[in-house]
A and B are shown apart, each in its own frame.
Chain A
Amino acid sequence: MKARNLERKSAITGVGQSAVGRRLNIDPLALTADACLEAIEDAGLTRDDIDGLSTYPGNMQAPAGFTGAGVTEVQEMLRLNLNWFCGGPELPGQLGAVINACAAVATGLARHVLCFRTVWESTAQGGGPRAGLGAGGGGGFRASGIMEWTLPFGAASAAVWIAMMARRHFHEFGTTREQMAQIALNSRKNAGLNPNAVYRDPMTMDDYFAARMISDPFCLYDCDAPVDGSTAIIVSATDAARDCRKTPLRVEAVGSALRGRPSWDQFDDLTTMALRDAGAMLWERTDLRPSDVHVAELYDGFSFITMCWLEALGFCAKGESGRFIEDGKAIALDGEIALNTHGGQLSAGRLHGFGFLHEAAVQLWHEGGARQVPVEPSVAVAAAGGGPLGGCLLLVRDD
């Protein structure tokens, strides 16, 4: 029996999501309220039951629309009585905020933690092309921190940094754009069954190859779609979860490791990123195996990141993700591992990590409607992050 004290004491008990769309022009705090109140109701709780609050990244200096609400704003808006709260960007990916919540309920610091993530990048960026980091800085701008080593070279987006990781993977393992396209095609097919997805029209391989190049080998369809929207997740202590309305989704294991250098270019193996470490840690903490998982909701800020997660979580061998996905069958809704069943960020919209955990819960509660995975899944993994930041959770429905 593996050590899993933290995980055995925490469960997902409710989820919520605001309207999601392009240029909604809605106050991001209002979107946040919609998601949070829906999640609280979904769990069968009231706001008086919430004693913990957690978010990524919260209030910080950030590109336009990257963060729509912080911890203190939400506490003020919902007048929560908190015993524990936490928000910040220095976490193992976006879902690090949820892993923190698991630790809080497992150690008794809180009983029901409301976790949320709000973006309004579509409205904030208007109709223009996606801007680079630092692009609005003006003549006096000087790059510092990790940006010092990338911005002077026009490497002004994670698209550029991760394109280089994909290129290295292509070089070492013979991966191709035709294979990588399956991530985008699979997501679009699933989005067609999801009424809340922002891009639902069918996409063909020809459409993919006709799209304009962003940063070779990434074309437009390898990059996620900025949207406005908020997602909320309730994490409850397992003893407190008995008070909730739905079957608790037990957190069987988490991965939060970073064992290489925290850098986009100095990390030892650019073809794995830190996802390797988070994935390895997750399986170190459970007796379940990758073959036990029915549903995988794996971050796709860029299509290649999903391939890295497939390898990091052991759904295929290192270097084999291209061959694993190349005919699309293994990752389809009725495949051996149903992947990004809502359409991912590529087609359902860039809810920045939390959308994957939301969808994992929807699938485990068999609420997926037309996109529901037919095997009535009981084990799902949700993972978010890329580059030097990644975190993942394995969820189990016991009944």
Chain B
Amino acid sequence: MSDKPFRLLPAVGPHNEHFWHGGAEGELRFLRCDACSTYVHPPLPICPECLGRALTPEAVSGRATVHTYTVNHHPWIPGFDPPYIVAIVDIEEQAGLRLTTNLVGCAPEDVQIGMPVKVCFEERDEGIHIPLFEPDPNAAKCRAEHIE
């Protein structure tokens, strides 16, 4: 038994294990097109941009910003107790590349659209690592360095 909250887990197979197992190495991974470099998510067998057939999992920085969020108060799933924050985050590497996730390490009243966050992982059974996001206090500094 663990002290982690109950979660409904994803069905993991060859098409998506790069995503759900990447956290074991601390990496958030998406399929990326070898030909045109587009990140493809959710996973597909071909690139919808250039129709290329070669896609390779690749780690991103894990940095993101909050696109939108909700503080959920309703007990939809027995054992997954409200309140909790569900957010859609914009992954830094590509416009429009988004994830639905939970924000952790952040009080509901402190969440803001546009706030910088970074990935962290919650380990579950069968090697599944759930990508969650937490406030990124170094974001402004990191981005300033990047610009320089």
Interface residue ranges, A against B (CB under 8 Å): 129-135, 137, 141-144, 148-157, 159-161, 163-165, 167-168, 171, 212-218, 263-266, 268, 270
Contact = CB atoms under 8 A, between A and B. Distances in A.
Contacts of B84: 154
A216 B100 contact: no
Contact of A135 (B68, B70, B77): B77
A171 B70 contact: no
A156 B11 contact: no
Contact of A270 (B41, B68, B75, B86): B68
Most buried by B among A135, A153, A212: A153
A143 B8 contact: yes
B53 interface: no
A205 to B, nearest CB: 20
B104 to A, nearest CB: 11
A65 B77 CA distance: 18
A134 B8 contact: yes
The 10 lowest CB-CB distance pairs between A and B, nearest first, are A132-B76, A142-B11, A156-B76, A168-B68, A163-B70, A216-B71, A144-B11, A151-B8, A213-B73, A164-B68
What DSSP secondary structure best describes chain A's contact surface? Answer: loop
B74 A144 contact: no
Given A144-B10, A149-B42, A154-B76, A216 B102 contact: no
Nearest to B89: A265
Interface in B44-99: 67-78, 80, 82, 84, 86-88, 96, 98-99
User: How many interface residues does chain B have, given as a range?
Assistant: 35 or more
A143 B10 contact: yes
24 contacts: A135-B77, A135-B78, A142-B11, A143-B8, A143-B10, A144-B10, A149-B100, A151-B8, A151-B77, A153-B86, A153-B102, A154-B7, A154-B72, A154-B77, A154-B82, A156-B8, A160-B70, A164-B69, A164-B87, A165-B68, A168-B67, A214-B74, A215-B72, A217-B70
Contacts of A164: 68-70, 86-88
B106 interface: no
Contacts of B82: 154
B130 A152 contact: yes
B78 A160 contact: no
Nearest to A134: B8
A148 B72 contact: no
Interface of B: 7-12, 16, 41-42, 67-78, 80, 82, 84, 86-88, 96, 98-102, 108, 113, 130
B73 A216 contact: yes
B70 A143 contact: no
A266 B72 contact: no
Contacts of A266: 41-42, 96, 98
Nearest to A141: B8
B10 A152 contact: yes
B46 to A, nearest CB: 15
Nearest to B73: A213
B113 to A, nearest CB: 5
Contacts of B86: 153-155, 160, 164, 215
Contacts of A130: 74, 76
B110 to A, nearest CB: 14
A142 B100 contact: no
Contacts of A142: 8-12
A5 B52 CA distance: 38
A268 B88 contact: no
Nearest to A149: B100
Contacts of A215: 70-74, 86
B69 A135 contact: no
Contacts of A167: 68-70, 113
A265 B100 contact: yes
A13 B34 CA distance: 55
A131 B75 CA distance: 8
A53 to B, nearest CB: 35
B65 to A, nearest CB: 12
Contacts of B7: 152, 154
Contacts of A264: 100
